[in-house]
Amino acid sequence: MPAKTHLFRCLQDNFGVLVHDPATGATAAIDAPEAAPVEAALQATGWRLSDILVTHHHADHTGGIAELKKRHNCRVTAPRQEAARIPAVDATVDDGDNAKVGGLAARVIATPGHTAGHIAYWFDAEKLAFVGDTLFSIGCGRVIEGTAPMMWASLLKLRALPDDTQIYCGHEYTLANIRFALTIEPDNKALRARADEARRQVDAGKPTIPTTIGAEKEANVFLRADVPAVAAAVGLAGEPAAKVFAEVRERKNRS
């Protein structure tokens, strides 16, 4: 039986998401921005919380963990490098490790840059990846604890996942990301189509995720730093992709 997901909003612009294994009944929350929306999602689905899989230590991804742990006695799995900054951790994982949710298996991918120990969870058999604040739809996370080359390398790991992998990220930032991306690639047809689609989704009160790796490759300028036209657009024709990425990220920070 394939995994089921349930997506919901938390805090100002965070996403929460549950992953459910129908065969065993196990259910994981990917991060826990705050407890109440997770509880509401459990009520709505009738699922029982068995796990919390944490992508990174920021408070808007971990604020609900202590309360959920107390109520559900769920297992909290966290990135090894950041475990000391995350409450109630039971298990730590690092690049290449497996994380289980009932019968579902996720491979852990280290994606440092936004934070030094940030990880993503890739359920390869389910074609699902939970990428926290590393990759957003048409965007990427701010490079806070790492360096731009480190973040670019992390994005390349995610870009290498199969095109039909569904991507769940930590924030609803898509429209702002699109506004910025159009300043670099105004003629990118996939990006323009995505702009129309995202506008329709938001106007209908719907989330703009999940997205897919295939769609992001075509339209997300942060995954396209090695496309010659993108390098040229930021005045860095012929320069290394990591340098182009750093410039695009800088421009977004200033936008």
Out of 20, 57, 58, 252, the residue judged to bind Zn ion by CB under 5 A = 58
Is 6 one of the annotated active-site residues of the chain? no
Minimum CB separation of residue 114 from Zn ion in Å reads 6
Cα angle 64, 67, 70; round to 5? 140
Is 163 an active-site residue? no
Q: Which is nearer to Zn ion, 20 or 114 (CB)?
A: 114
- Tell me if residue 114 is catalytic: yes
The structure tokens 């909290």 sit at 76
Nearer to Zn ion, 5 or 55 (CB): 55
Beta carbon of residue 170, minimum distance to Zn ion (angstroms, whole number): 7
Smallest CA-to-CA distance from 119 within 85, 88, 92, 148 is with 92
Considering the complex, what minimum distance in angstroms separates the CB of residue 110 from Zn ion?
Answer: 15
Region near Zn ion per CB under 5 A, out of 17-25, 50-58, 173-181, 244-252: 50-58
Minimum CB distance to Zn ion smaller for 51 or for 133: 133
Which residues 203-222 are close enough to bind Zn ion by CB under 5 A?
Answer: none
Count of CB atoms situated within 10 Å of the CB of 2: 12
Any catalytic annotation for residue 118? no
Q: Hunting for tokens 């100002």 — which residue is that?
A: 12
Nearest Cα residue to 244 out of 151, 174, 132, 115: 151
User: Does the annotation mark 58 as catalytic?
Assistant: yes
Q: CA quadruple 247, 216, 129, 202: dihedral positive or negative?
A: positive
Closest CA to 118 of 59, 56, 61, 170: 56
Q: Which of 82, 133, 172, 185 binds Zn ion (CB under 5 A)?
A: 133
What phi, psi does 49 have (nearest 5°)?
A: -75, 115
Binding segment toward Zn ion, per CB under 5 A, in 9-17, 40-48, 52-60, 158-166:
52-60
Query: Closest distance between Zn ion and the C-beta of residue 186, in Å?
Result: 29
Let me know: does 52 contact 31? Beta carbons within 8 Å.
yes
What letter would DSSP give residue 115? S
Binding segment (CB under 5 A) for Zn ion, from list 91-99, 128-136, 206-214, 246-254: 128-136
Residues noted as catalytic: 56, 58, 60-61, 114, 133, 171
